[in-house]
């Protein structure tokens, strides 16, 4: 029987914790092991009987910290670390008695490594075997924490007895800290799939959240279903608009109207009661709402109606976490269209900009899985700038629309060209356009 892990996002990877089972949450000091088990206990404390057994050197300091992290329903039974090291057998009897008395459904011993640490290797092996036999009799989900390095996981005696091993680690990159969860061993996985070995997680005031891989199963695209862009002549040039679930890149230099193009696309969807999401880095929601209002597009009313959401990021963030902010926004309103404004801007806020191509690939795959039609904008000096290919956009996108400023007869003109639209007999010509009070308007050919 699977029970919730109590950790946001982890159930989507593991499916839950089997009951009964033993889980080792390992890692070096400061990675979040204690917070992990406290959250697992507290999240289910109203549905299960829970017991926390901290092995601590300071009962007083523990009580102060526990009161902030633990649900009031969790039973706490502290054990002095010195006792655990000097007389582990008596401590083990004590633990067995308190578990029997509490009849706990979920138990956490934090950490397990001091118990029997003074024993010889052979004695410790027998001792850990005894602990394993005891936990099997409890019929509970038993969480252990252990201060172990990644290499020690493979040689630790406790690793051979537990059912699952979750290894927490972090990397200090001077400007930020990235946190990873690695699954060394598991007996159950969500949807009978073997989980990826490493997942990003974060620790915030809201607790721990693990970020699973986004769903990206390829879905069939019905080319007969077209999504209007909000630019009537462009729709005519693409056989009726953008094919549903396509991701289209709008690339151009500053002042060509990339964001206006994207806002017009979103407004066209919203005015037909189709929920949408706008992702931005450089411009805030208020700035984008004000920009749209210049063209008569009142986006604020759609926010108030609950069919438009913004994902706006200025602080440093891991790409995996940002993907999940987008997924949460899309699924909270069942959005079917997304404007991602500023591929190049994301490098200023991502912890690991080197993962940009992987990020874009995952995002596009998720959009197709969720049947979302998306427009991405990207600032370039020239339409075919290498910056587009820096993140693999030209290869990954289904369509590319190039916007340019050119000098013609002593004047600056704006031109539009469809470089790619898969499965569509689109116009190959270069078209002049202007930005009017109602958005982008493609001019008719002089001939």
Q: Output the six-digit token pair for 368.
A: 């197709």
Select, from the ranges 69-78, 104-113, 403-412, the one with the highest average predicted confidence (pLDDT): 104-113
d(CA 349, CA 176): 11
Place of tokens 């024993």: 119
Q: Which residue has the higher pLDDT, 354 or 268?
A: 268
pLDDT(237) > 60? yes
Four-CA torsion 234, 258, 436, 405, nearest 10 degrees: -90
What's residue 383's pLDDT? Answer: 45
d(CA 238, CA 281): 29
Coil, helix or strand for 441? strand
Q: Output the six-digit token pair for 112.
A: 């397990």
DSSP sequence for 204-257: ETTEEEEEPPPP-------TT-EE--S-HHHHHHTTSSEETT-EEEEEE-TTS-
159-187 pLDDT, tens digit each: 889 999 999 998 876 667 789 999 988 87
* 53 Cα distance to chain centroid: 32
What's residue 371's pLDDT? Answer: 93
293-318 pLDDT, tens digit each: 999 999 999 999 999 999 998 888 88
pLDDT average, residue stretch 207-219: 82
* Helix boundaries (H) for 80-177: 81-86, 88-102, 121-138, 150-155, 157-161
What's residue 88's pLDDT? Answer: 87
- Domains of the chain by start residue, with CATH: 2-211 (3.40.50.300), 226-442 (3.40.50.300)
Q: What pTM did the predictor assign?
A: 0.83
d(CA 35, CA 69): 8
Mean pLDDT over each residue of the chain, to the nearest integer: 87
pLDDT average, residue stretch 143-164: 89
Q: Which residue has the higher pLDDT, 276 or 152?
A: 276
Strand segments, DSSP code E, in 306-385 are 308-312, 337-341, 373-379
Range with the poorest average pLDDT among 146-155, 190-199, 203-212: 190-199
């Amino acid at each position: 029987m699977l029970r919730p892990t109590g950790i946001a996002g982890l159930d989507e990877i593991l499916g839950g914790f089997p009951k009964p089972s033993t889980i080792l949450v390992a890692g070096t000091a400061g990675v979040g092991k204690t917070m992990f088990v406290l959250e697992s206990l507290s999240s289910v404390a109203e549905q299960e009987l829970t017991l926390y057994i901290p092995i601590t050197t300071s009962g007083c300091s523990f009580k102060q910290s526990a009161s902030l992290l633990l649900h009031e329903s969790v039973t706490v039974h502290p054990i002095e670390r010195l006792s655990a090291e000097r007389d582990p057998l008596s401590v083990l009897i004590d633990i067995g008695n308190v578990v029997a008395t509490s009849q706990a459904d979920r138990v956490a011993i934090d950490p397990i490594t001091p118990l029997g640490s003074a024993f010889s290797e052979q004695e410790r092996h027998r001792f850990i075997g005894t602990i394993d036999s005891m936990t099997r009799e409890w019929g509970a989900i038993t969480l252990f924490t252990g201060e172990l390095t990644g290499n020690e996981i493979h040689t630790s005696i406790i690793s051979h007895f537990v059912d699952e091993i979750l290894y927490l680690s972090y990397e200090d990159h001077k400007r930020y800290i990235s946190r990873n969860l690695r699954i060394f061993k598991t007996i159950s996985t969500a949807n009978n799939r073997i989980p990826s070995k490493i997942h990003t997680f974060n620790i915030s005031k809201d607790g721990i959240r693990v970020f699973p891989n986004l769903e990206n199963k390829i879905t069939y695209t019905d080319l007969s279903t077209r999504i209007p862009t909000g630019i009537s002549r462009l729709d005519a040039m693409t056989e009726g608009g953008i094919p549903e679930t396509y991701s289209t890149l709008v690339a151009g230099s500053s002042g060509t109207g990339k964001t206006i193009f994207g806002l017009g696309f979103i407004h066209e969807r919203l005015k037909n009661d189709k929920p949408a999401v706008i992702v931005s880095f450089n411009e805030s929601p208020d700035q984008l709402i004000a920009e749209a209002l210049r063209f008569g597009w009142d986006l604020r009313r759609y926010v108030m109606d609950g069919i438009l959401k913004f994902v706006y990021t200025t602080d440093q963030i891991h790409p995996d976490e940002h993907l999940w902010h987008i997924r949460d926004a899309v699924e909270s309103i069942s959005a079917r269209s997304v404007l991602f404004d500023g591929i190049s801007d994301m490098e200023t806020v991502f912890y690991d900009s080197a993962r940009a191509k992987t990020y874009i690939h995952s995002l596009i795959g998720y959009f197709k899985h969720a049947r979302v039609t998306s427009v991405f904008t990207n600032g370039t000096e020239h339409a075919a700038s290498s910056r587009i290919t820096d993140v693999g956009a030209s290869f990954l996108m289904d369509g590319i629309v190039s916007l340019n400023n050119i000098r013609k007869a002593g004047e600056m003109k704006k031109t539009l060209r469809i470089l790619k639209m898969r499965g569509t007999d689109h116009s190959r010509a270069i078209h002049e356009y202007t930005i009017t009070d109602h958005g982008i308007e493609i001019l008719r050919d002089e001939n």
